[in-house]
Structure 1
Amino acid sequence: MPEPVPDFSLTNVAAGPDPFSLAALPDSVDFAVLFFQRDHYCTNCRKQVQQLAERIDDFHGRDAEVVSIVPEPVERVESWQESYDLPFPLLADPDIEAGEAYDQPVRFGILGRFSDFFGRMPEIVVVDRRGTEPEIAWVHKGSSTFDRPDIDEILAKLDSLNDSDVPSEMV
């Protein structure tokens, strides 16, 4: 049985609809690739969004949109956009609404829940939008700030989903 896809509405400080929601994406976008970041200060997160920007055409060529979600206030997320000029949605999630809805991993128990610096781990979720209802097609939950698949691995996953040519619920 397909896993339901939580939708959310968050402020977008970069390209795409603002406020951002999955439903606001154009119908031509088959996949939303959600990158849940650790926090504003995370150097691995900052490197990742820059690498994603360099490879954005590879995602768009697969009818996929990259969406980066940062559990921080709008002002901090805007500083990323000012620094990196990202060509994809960059969302501020100050109340961790989307992170909680998608069960973003948190380490160190209670301490990790109260301090994103200690606890919030990266997560990637591929949402397949080709069926009548969007569904979660693939998830990677990081166990450390370094635990992230490389971009080629994510693109290969999108290729395998595209090769199926039907929504993942039908595969």
Structure 2
Amino acid sequence: MTGVVDDIVLSNVGPGPDPLALADLTVPVAPADPTTTDAVEPAHDALVLLLHRDHHAGQCRRQVRAVADRYDEFRERGCQIVSVVPEPRSRVQEWQDRYELPFPLCADPDTTVGDHFEQPIRFGTLGEQFDLVGRMPTAIVFDVPRVNELEVVATYRGRTTMDRPEIDALLATVEQRT
């Protein structure tokens, strides 16, 4: 899926702009040394979007801490991480205050992003009412082909609360595609 991402804007409590528009992550930057090239380079070659289950989900908390521990490996590959929690800003701010994550951490209380990218929900109406029960973890790896466009190159949709990709698998996917 390649698509324009102008309409995805989230409240960000982590590093980076607030609000955070995913399209902003595709904007090119001027070359560091204009004597070597006239071409502009994208700010990021790839983006990993982590869609979490709930503010209380221990596995999601462990995942963001583990990704933070290895964030430099993503940056070395030109990749930006963005974590999205389906909660109000105040609850997501608790994560940032506690874990001091080095990447954008966004609140999505209306589950707009999860719905847009078809984050799985189990248990029907019950799962829709209670994210902790029904919402499954999702990781999406995007290539950045041009300004305002993200191309989905890999999607991992969990089937259980524990089902999420290993960090090494995410890094390998980013490295293969960028």
Q: Same fold (TM over 0.5)?
A: yes
What code does the residue aligned with 1:140 have? Y
CA distance in 1, matches of 2:115, 2:101: 24
Shift of 1:3: 4.2
**Over 4 Å off, 4+ runs:** none
Aligned partner of 1:72 among 67, 75, 87 = 87
- Please state which structure has a larger fraction of its residues in strand: 2
Q: Contact 1:12–1:18 at 8 Å: present in 2 too?
A: yes
Alignment identity in percent? 45
**Is 1:20 paired with 2:20?**
yes
Look up the match of 1:94.
109
**Secondary structure in 2 matching 1:100:** helix
CA distance in 1, matches of 2:116, 2:164: 20
Shift of 1:131: 3.8
Q: Contact 1:106–1:113 at 8 Å: present in 2 too?
A: yes
Kindly tell me the number of residue pairs found equivalent between the two proteins.
161
Q: Contact 2:2–2:150 at 8 Å: present in 1 too?
A: no
Look up the match of 2:133.
118
What code does the residue aligned with 1:12 have? N
Query: In terms of mean alpha carbon deviation, does 95-104 or 127-136 score higher?
Result: 127-136
Q: Contact 1:122–1:145 at 8 Å: present in 2 too?
A: yes
Look up the match of 1:161.
177
Work out which of the two has the higher radius of gyration on C-alpha atoms and give 1 or 2: 2
CA distance in 2, matches of 1:3, 1:130: 9
Q: Contact 2:141–2:173 at 8 Å: present in 1 too?
A: no
Q: Contact 2:139–2:156 at 8 Å: present in 1 too?
A: yes
**Secondary structure in 2 matching 1:4:** strand
Q: Contact 1:77–1:92 at 8 Å: present in 2 too?
A: yes
Q: Contact 1:70–1:93 at 8 Å: present in 2 too?
A: yes
Structure 1: stretches of 5+ with no match in the other structure: 163-171
CA distance in 1, matches of 2:140, 2:118: 10
CA distance in 2, matches of 1:108, 1:60: 37
CA distance in 1, matches of 2:104, 2:14: 5
CA distance in 2, matches of 1:5, 1:100: 16
What code does the residue aligned with 1:52 have? V
**What RMSD, in angstroms, separates the aligned Cα atoms of the two structures?**
1.3
Structure 2: stretches of 5+ with no match in the other structure: 29-42
**Is 1:39 paired with 2:54?**
yes
Aligned partner of 1:143 among 159, 164, 167 = 159
**Secondary structure in 1 matching 2:83:** strand
